[in-house]
Amino acid sequence: MRLDKYLAETAQCTRSEAKTLLQKGKVTVNGTLCKKGDTQLRETDVVAVEGRPLAYQKFVYIMLNKPEGVVSASIDKRDTTVVDLLGDAYPRRELFPAGRLDKTSTGFVLLTDDGGFAHDILAPKRHVSKTYTVTLDTPLTAEMKAGFAAGVTLADGTALSPAEVEAMTPDGLTVRVLLKQGVYHQIKRMFGVYGAGVNALHRDAIGGLALDAALAPGQWRELSDAEVAEITG
Ligand code: URA
């Protein structure tokens, strides 16, 4: 890869900002000052800006706490998207949400530019679970529990695979749901089969990785390699 491209990607700057860094003599390759953007790098080369070595990240993985009213898309004409919430932190990356939450839902959205990983965690065959806290307008019943465990058939005839549901409060209005599928409006439609409405829906975890409680709605942070591995277990 060319040095200017590498700089832009790892230092998260534009190509012209990378050029300025080079011209100002702030960049070294293996400890030697380098001002030429078209220098071809080898895998083992160590690039540093002002003495700080850069680490090349092939892909980024971001955990975001989606607030209500924000849409799970990259761009939208009317609404703020989950990618808009990142501001201009990643000008060189084409990040997108791996899986969707409804506009009214909140919680863990994973953003990445790794298409293969996104495909893997969404593929039903991979069985990556998603865990939700759901507030119902009518208490959880034994019929719903048994139906979820057996696999709900939606109003349009779609037969879903088994899911888990358990009450989290004595009144049965707050429940935890665990799904291994991602059908459009799935949870709302599953409860709809039993005449129950969903008042609030929050995603707590994807696979084995829980949403960081320190992230307020709208906040986000990058995941470590170990955390990314926890998603797929
Ligand atoms: N199921 C829904 O109905 N909505 C969501 O946002 C996620 C799962």
Residue 206: beta bridge partners?
Answer: 130, 209
Q: Is the pLDDT of residue 52 over 90?
A: no
Architecture of the domain spanning 129-206? 2-Layer Sandwich (3.30)
CATH class of 61-124+210-232: alpha beta
Q: Is the pLDDT of residue 190 over 80?
A: yes
> Residues with beta carbon inside 6 Å of ligand 1?
101-102, 105, 185-188, 201
- Do strands 220-222 and 209-210 pair parallel, antiparallel, or not at all (unpaired)? unpaired
Residue of 104, 136, 178, 185 best suited for mutating to test ligand 1, as the one with most atoms within 8 Å of CB: 185
In ligand 1, the atom with minimum distance to the C-alpha of 190 is 3
Predicted pLDDT of residue 125: 80
Q: Is the pLDDT of residue 11 over 80?
A: no
Q: Is 47 helix (H, G, I), strand (E, B) or coil?
A: strand
For residue 81, report the distance from its CA to the centre of ligand 1, in Å.
16
Where in the chain are the domains?
3-53, 61-124+210-232, 129-206
DSSP string, 184-207: TTHHHHHHHTTTPPEEEEEEEEET
pLDDT-based confidence at 44, cuts 50/70/90?
confident
Predicted pLDDT of residue 71: 98
Average confidence (pLDDT) over 190-207: 98
Angle between helices 15-23 and 3-10 (to 10 degrees): 110
User: Of residues 45, 76, 84, 102, which has the active-site annotation?
Assistant: 102
In ligand 1, the atom with minimum distance to the C-alpha of 102 is 6
Q: What is the pLDDT of residues 90-144, one digit of tens each?
A: 877 899 999 999 999 999 999 999 999 999 998 878 889 999 999 999 999 999 9
Known catalytic membership, residue 102 = yes
For residue 27, the number of C-alpha atoms closer than 13 Å in the C-beta half-sphere is 25
Share of residues in the chain with pLDDT > 90 (%): 81
Do the domains spanning 3-53 and 61-124+210-232 agree at the CATH topology level?
no
**CA-to-CA distance for 21 and 140, rounded, in angstroms?**
60
Q: Which helix (H) or strand (E) holds 110?
A: strand 106-112
Residue 213: CB atoms within 10 A of its CB come to 8
In this structure, whether the domain defined by 3-53 belongs to CATH 3.10.290.10 is answered with yes
